[in-house]
Copies of this chain bind each other. A is one copy, B any other.
Amino acid sequence: MPRELIRTDPDFDRQFEALLNQKRDEAHSVRDVVDGILSDVARRGDAAVLEYTARFDRLDISAGDLRIDAAEIAQARAKCDRETLDALALAAKRIKAFHAHQKPQDHSYIDDAGVRLGVRWSAIDAAGLYVPGGMASYPSSVLMNALPAKVAGVERLVMVVPTPDGVINPLVLAAADLAGVDELYRIGGAQAVAALAYGTESLAPVDKIVGPGNAYVAEAKRQVFGRVGIDTIAGPSEILVVADGDNDPAWIAADLLSQAEHDAVAQSILITDDAAFASAVADEIEQQLMSLDRRDIASASWRDYGAMIVLDDLMQAPALVDRLAPEHLELAVADPDVLFARIRHAGAVFLGRYTPEAVGDYVAGPNHVLPTSRAARFSSGLSVLDFMKRTTFIGCDGDSLTRIGPAAVRLARAEGLGAHAQSVSIRLDRGAGGEDSRKQDHQ
């Protein structure tokens, strides 16, 4: 049984604090291992990648086989059943449509000092997408990571996916094809991250790396950060369901289990104002676990990290939600907007009784790559903005420089930066009102 916290217990605050501080990441000492792999790939390129692939994925290939070609992708597609491909296509269409709204607008204006100011957005040239192999190789994740890059306008989208013992999920290749991935390589682990960051003979380097992976992949991304961009480092998944007693306990039990089945360190938390409902959900979970394929994982997660929090009033929930800053938040109440308006920190919110979190995992449209481990306090789910960057621009003419330049000179001198001051003052001495300058800057 998972822990149960009752608001009216005198010990409630301490217990809630313990829940907040519970560690779910196992402590790995992977730093040095990853460091070694990264520098080896940076130095020896393909040769190193091939050696690690042989060692970790038990896959003995030559450099010519690193890339997965069009014929192999077509073959994989042919192996997938029609209805699943149709479902994948619907998901892709809806994800694209939602993300298209995220494309930022350029803007520019001339302010009252006569200075032309603005921002211009552009796509990253090349992005790398890490897709885990084996059990966690999900076609839906390929769509969720690849489509925002394509909507952003990334011209070269490279995907790496390890194929332990040569095995790959054909749906993953079908999803890559559907999403418009430009290059695919059968490599994984820290060596794949290194290849993406440094490049090898077979794989030109990319500018940013996204996608989930195990502890080695996460550490590799952390270490190459700076040389390339990375997305947020993902921790184990989590769901927080806020539900009143009018819900069907079986529905809420299924929602909690849908997170628990991901991973033995996933976390499912129920907040309710009805203790009897909480027990009914707990009973339902035991029932549903019996017929679940992934019952070993789900029951370990529920037992070790699950929690049920019983409040006197659901209006107490927002404060606790904000402290947990959950990746996924379901508001299974009659009027979810009342609670939603009071909540600041959550990756994605699922409103009302007919919006199970799983619908967002696949087909709703918003991204399912979301901040975990309380990172929703400071970060957002994956979006088109993650594959674009902003260039600001400034254009002065002689007149406008005369208006704002003296303050710059003053501040530069106060900071002891003489050349800064000089680069402005040298133009003030000669530039004010020049016709030539107007022409060049404001045409």
How many monomers of this protein are in the complex?
A: 2
Q: Which residues of B contact A61 (CB under 8 A)?
A: none
> Is B359 touching A394 in the complex (CB atoms < 8 A)?
yes
For the complex formed, measure the closest distance between the CB of A95 and the CB atoms of chain B, giving whole angstroms: 11
Interface centre among A336, A392, A401 (most CB of B within 10 A): A392
Residues of B within 8 A of A437 (CB): 352-354
- CB-CB nearest in chain B for A346: B391
In the complex, which residues of chain B have a beta carbon less than 8 angstroms from the beta carbon of A405?
Answer: 359, 363
Residues on B with C-beta less than 8 A from A383 are 390
List 6 tightest A-B contacts by C-beta distance, closest first. A229-B378, A351-B395, A366-B392, A87-B407, A257-B419, A254-B423
Inter-chain contact A440/B353, CB cutoff 8 Å: yes
Judge if A115 is at the interface, Cβ distance under 8 Å: yes
The reply on A70 being an interface residue by CB < 8 A is no
A179-222 interface (Cβ within 8 A of B)? 207-208, 222
Please judge, given known A-B contacts A226-B373, A364-B404, A416-B294, whether A124 and B396 are in contact too, CB under 8 Å: no
Contact B222 A351 (CB under 8 A): no
Pairwise interchain contact B122-A344, C-beta atoms closer than 8 A: yes
A431 / chain B contacts, CB cutoff of 8 Å? 354
List chain B residues, Cβ under 8 A from A254.
419, 422-423, 426
Chain A to chain B contacts (Cβ below 8 Å), 17 pairs: A86-B407, A87-B410, A111-B365, A117-B364, A122-B344, A124-B377, A222-B225, A226-B235, A226-B373, A229-B379, A255-B423, A340-B393, A348-B392, A353-B427, A358-B408, A359-B396, A371-B389
A293 at the interface (CB under 8 A from B): yes
Contact partner of A417 (CB less than 8 A), chosen from B88, B258, B333, B400, is B258
Whether A363 and B418, one on each chain, are in contact in the complex, defined by CB atoms closer than 8 angstroms, is no
A419-443 CB mask vs B (1 if < 8 Å, else 0) is 1111110110011001011011101
Given A139-B414, A379-B389 in contact, is the A420-B361 Cβ separation under 8 Å?
A: yes
A362 at the interface (CB under 8 A from B): yes
Interface pair B257/A361, CB less than 8 Å apart: no
Are the C-beta atoms of A361 and B412 separated by less than 8 Å?
Answer: yes
Given contacts A251-B427, A419-B254, contact A378 B115 (CB under 8 A): no
Query: Smallest CB–CB gap between A397 and chain B, Å?
Result: 5
Instruction: Given A366-B392, A419-B292, verify A404-B94 contact (CB < 8 Å).
Output: yes
Q: Which residues of B contact A228 (CB under 8 A)?
A: 378
Q: With A102-B119, A349-B391, A352-B396 given, can you name 6 additional A-B contacts, CB distance below 8 Å?
A: A222-B226, A228-B378, A288-B419, A288-B422, A336-B395, A354-B431
Chain B residues, Cβ within 8 Å of A426: 248, 250-251, 254
B355 touches A395 (CB 8 A): yes
Query: How far, in whole Å, are A391 and B367 apart by their CA atoms in the complex?
Result: 10
Complex formed: what's the CA distance from A207 to B393 in Å?
30
CB-CB under 8 A from A422, the residues of chain B are 254, 257-258, 288, 292
Interface of chain A residues 243 through 290 with chain B (CB within 8 A): 248, 250-251, 254-255, 257-258, 260-262, 288
Q: Once the chains bind, are A423 and B357 in contact (CB under 8 Å)?
A: yes
